[in-house]
Amino acid sequence: MKVLVTGCRGQVGTYLKKQLKYKDEVEVIAVGHEELDITNGSAVINLVTNFQPDFIINAAAFTAVDKAEVDRELAYKVNRDGALFLAKAAELVNAVVLHISTDYVFDGALNRSYIETDEPSPNNVYGASKLAGEKAVIKYCSKYIILRTAWVFGEYGNNFVKTMLKLGQEKKELSIVGDQYGGPTYAGDIASTLISIAEKINNSNDVQYGVYHYSGGAYVSWYDFSVEIFKSATERLVLDRAPILNSIPTADYLTPAERPANSCLNCQKIETQFGIKPSNWQQALNNIQAYI
């Protein structure tokens, strides 16, 4: 099995590179922006046609949600055009595209968890650019898995857990949004999920391609999540004390990009089709000393 991984230095890409290294009979090329600019169509085609991968796992993305409101052109260039070029190249060599997308393709207005067939309606540029990337993959590649995920965290890159731990060291009191809900998702679990899907596709012709949701199994607010982060950090002596936490409404914490109030993703489809259970984010916090 030959696998091309893009975005190999990002949160998920780092885990993909590490986990694939220990797989027998898997040949991997893992690239970051320095090795491959996915917005350069000819560069993408050259690499893909030379390597002839069976799978292209696209973990590259412009993920700075607030910055995307200002730098709209770059967000679309990476999240839409990059996905388009990878999809077209994959089709040339009959490869499967595994493409990471986001809960932010939804506006968060539903009062239940989102299923894959719910109509996307992003309320910020980041979500709109990622939705455009999804559409490009669907249009130009016949064999694809689009994996929407949410609230990604891990030992690598920038994320909410790392931010909380840093602020917890600096401040005695923090105000955290308590009316936005979602499923925190460990980046290492996303990587293992993508690899598991690739292996199952590689070993079976009976695969339902399409869009899947994958996120943490227990939905919480950002405030609830921060409570668990500091509980784990103090129990494991990463922090001497937890700051005082105050739950505040979104209206009291305005950001350039509007966030969905409901980012809860229903993960039943991926469990039914692939036997993959939701990410255990509580367990991932047990290793919280690695996030400092």
Residue 217 has what pLDDT? 86
* Structural domain of 41: 2-159+184-217+265-280
pTM of the full predicted structure? 0.96
Number of domains in the chain: 1
Strand 220-221 versus strand 181-182 pairing type: antiparallel
268 near 183, Cβ under 8 Å?
no
List pLDDT tens digits, range 83-137: 999 999 999 999 999 999 999 999 999 999 999 999 999 999 999 999 999 999 9
Report the percent of the chain where pLDDT is more than 70.
Answer: 100
Is there a domain that residue 17 lies in?
yes
Strand 173-177 versus strand 152-153 pairing type: unpaired
Is there a domain that residue 167 lies in?
no
Is there a domain that residue 39 lies in?
yes
Is there a domain that residue 108 lies in?
yes
Residue 206 has what pLDDT? 85
Tokens of 218: 């227990």
List pLDDT tens digits, range 22-53: 898 999 999 999 999 999 999 999 999 999 99
List pLDDT tens digits, range 153-188: 999 999 999 999 999 999 999 999 999 999 999 999
Q: What is the mean pLDDT of residues 18-22?
A: 93
Domain containing 103 — which CATH number? 3.40.50.720
240 near 170, Cβ under 8 Å?
no
**Residues with a known catalytic role:** 126
Q: Is the pLDDT of residue 205 over 90?
A: no
Tokens of 89: 């190249």
Residue 24 has what pLDDT? 87
- Distance of alpha carbon 157 from alpha carbon 45, whole angstroms: 28
Is there a domain that residue 30 lies in?
yes
Is there a domain that residue 253 lies in?
no
Is there a domain that residue 151 lies in?
yes
The residues pairing with 97 across neighbouring beta strands, listed in sequence order, are 56, 144
At 73, the pLDDT band (50, 70, 90 cuts) reads: very high
Is there a domain that residue 234 lies in?
no
Q: Is the pLDDT of residue 72 over 80?
A: yes
